[in-house]
């Protein structure tokens, strides 16, 4: 009897997204007793497992705060790997606003999004972390500014396992639509947006906004930590316990996809694939991510990337997104990723 294994991914550049587009899950698991399937097949009524990771025998790759939140609430998961794809982390103001530096945000109204139907508001965490980091970098405290709730009305289910053909196939507004309107209408003075989704938001703005500051350019690593930096690859403990061979095979599939993307001759095709994952154009990928994005898709468990996860967990705990912190070391399953690296002939990164 075959065993169904489920996977899910966020609408950002990931090895999982490339493996899906290259149909590597089909080829790598062909002839085994495991069948790989996308959780989107389970319908909207089960979509929240993308955030809560409650579905047994499943993998998830994407923004780090939901799996941390899920683990803190008792989700039976293991951390298989981490990647850190640097992306634009932008603070935006109106084009004609006299705000010219982060220090000018003192006393200003900063938008924090409210998504009523999200079981874990990772968008809010992302905005709060970005603003707090930027303020601290510029000698200000969190309470030197005023945080204002802005309700977003978009369909968050569209974020899960995207099926965009290209940027023109998008039907929904950007994930920052209501915050953008609030800014243009003078209800807030700044909002945060990140990654390739900025391109969709900028097209909506009609040129009425400008980026005040980009945390991607900040020197300290802690300032760059945000919801999708780091991205986490997590897996149900049921698979770790009962089918470690399938976990290793899955990790090898992602390593194959990431290795393919890193080859210079595949750069254009990989960029186009990442653009489809994000619902933007290849030019947008080149604009809003660092040029070495193709080299940074491999999941790893290096000390540097574990440090970024610790920074994320500490912020989530300190700001009430998770009730209790937990041991990253106890969460990890390094032996399985290490085995996948060895099988692919790749050097392990400490």
Q: List the one residue out of 152, 144, 315 whose CA is nearest residue 229.
A: 315
Q: What is the pLDDT of residue 167?
A: 52
User: For residue 23, what are its two tokens?
Assistant: 């149909």
CATH architecture of the region 89-224: 3-Layer(aba) Sandwich (3.40)
Torsion 186-188-189-194 (CA) sign: negative
Question: Cα(245)–Cα(154) distance, rounded to whole angstroms?
Answer: 39
3-state DSSP assignment of residue 162: coil
The single residue listed with the structure tokens 């992602």 is 254
3-state secondary structure 9-42: ECCCCCHHHHHHHCCHHHHHHCCCCEEEEEHHHH
* Phi, psi angles (nearest 5°) of residue 194: -140, 160
Domain 3-84+230-343 top-level CATH class: alpha beta
Whole-structure pTM value: 0.95
Using DSSP, state whether 173 is helix, strand or coil. Answer: coil
Are 115 and 153 in contact, with CB atoms under 8 Å apart? no
Residue found under tokens 């935006």: 92
What is residue 165's predicted lDDT score, i.e. its pLDDT?
Answer: 54
Per-residue pLDDT of the chain (350 residues; tens, 9 = 90+): 789 999 998 888 999 999 999 999 999 999 999 999 999 899 888 899 999 999 999 999 999 999 999 999 999 999 999 999 999 999 999 999 999 999 999 999 999 999 999 999 999 999 999 999 999 999 999 999 999 999 999 877 766 676 655 555 555 688 999 999 999 999 999 999 999 999 989 999 999 999 999 999 999 999 999 999 999 999 999 999 999 999 999 999 999 999 999 999 999 999 999 998 888 889 999 999 999 999 999 999 999 999 999 999 999 999 999 999 999 999 999 999 999 999 999 999 99
Q: Which string of b and e fits 180-207 if b means at least 16 CB within 10 Å?
A: bebbbeeebbbbbbbbbbbbbbbebbee
Are the C-beta atoms of 179 and 150 separated by less than 8 Å?
yes
Nearest to 19, CA basis, from 36, 31, 2: 36
Residue intervals of the chain classified under CATH 3.40.190.10 are 3-84+230-343, 89-224
């Amino acid at each position: 009897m075959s065993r169904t294994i489920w996977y899910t991914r966020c609408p950002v550049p990931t090895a999982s997204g490339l493996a899906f587009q290259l149909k590597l899950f089909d080829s790598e698991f062909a002839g085994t007793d495991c069948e790989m399937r996308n959780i989107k097949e389970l319908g909207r009524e089960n979509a929240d497992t993308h955030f809560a990771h409650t579905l047994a025998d499943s993998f998830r790759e994407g923004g780090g705060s939901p799996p941390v939140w899920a683990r803190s609430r008792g989700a039976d998961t293991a951390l298989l790997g981490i990647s850190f794809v640097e992306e634009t982390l932008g603070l935006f103001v109106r084009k004609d606003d006299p705000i010219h530096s982060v220090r000018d945000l003192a006393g200003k109204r900063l938008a924090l999004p409210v998504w009523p139907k999200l079981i874990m508001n990772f968008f809010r965490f992302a905005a709060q972390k970005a603003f707090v980091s930027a303020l601290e970098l510029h000698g200000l405290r969190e309470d030197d500014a005023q945080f204002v709730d802005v309700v977003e009305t978009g369909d968050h289910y569209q974020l899960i396992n995207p099926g965009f053909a290209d940027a023109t196939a998008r039907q929904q507004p950007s994930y920052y639509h209501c915050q953008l309107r609030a800014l243009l209408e003078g209800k807030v003075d700044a909002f945060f947006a990140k990654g390739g989704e900025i391109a969709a938001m900028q097209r909506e703005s009609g040129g009425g906004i400008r980026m005040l500051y980009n945390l991607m350019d900040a020197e300290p690593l802690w300032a760059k930590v945000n919801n999708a930096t780091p991205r986490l690859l997590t897996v149900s403990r049921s698979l770790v316990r009962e089918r470690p061979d399938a976990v290793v095979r899955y990790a090898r599939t992602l390593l194959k996809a990431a290795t393919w993307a890193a080859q210079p001759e595949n750069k254009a095709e990989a960029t186009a694939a990442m653009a489809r994952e994000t619902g933007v154009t290849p030019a947008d990928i080149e604009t809003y991510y660092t040029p070495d994005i193709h080299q940074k898709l491999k999941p790893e468990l290096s000390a540097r990337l574990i440090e970024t996860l610790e920074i994320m967990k500490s912020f989530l705990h300190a700001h009430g997104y998770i009730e209790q912190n937990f041991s990253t070391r106890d969460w990890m399953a390094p032996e399985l990723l290490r085995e996948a690296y060895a099988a692919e002939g790749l050097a392990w990164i400490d």
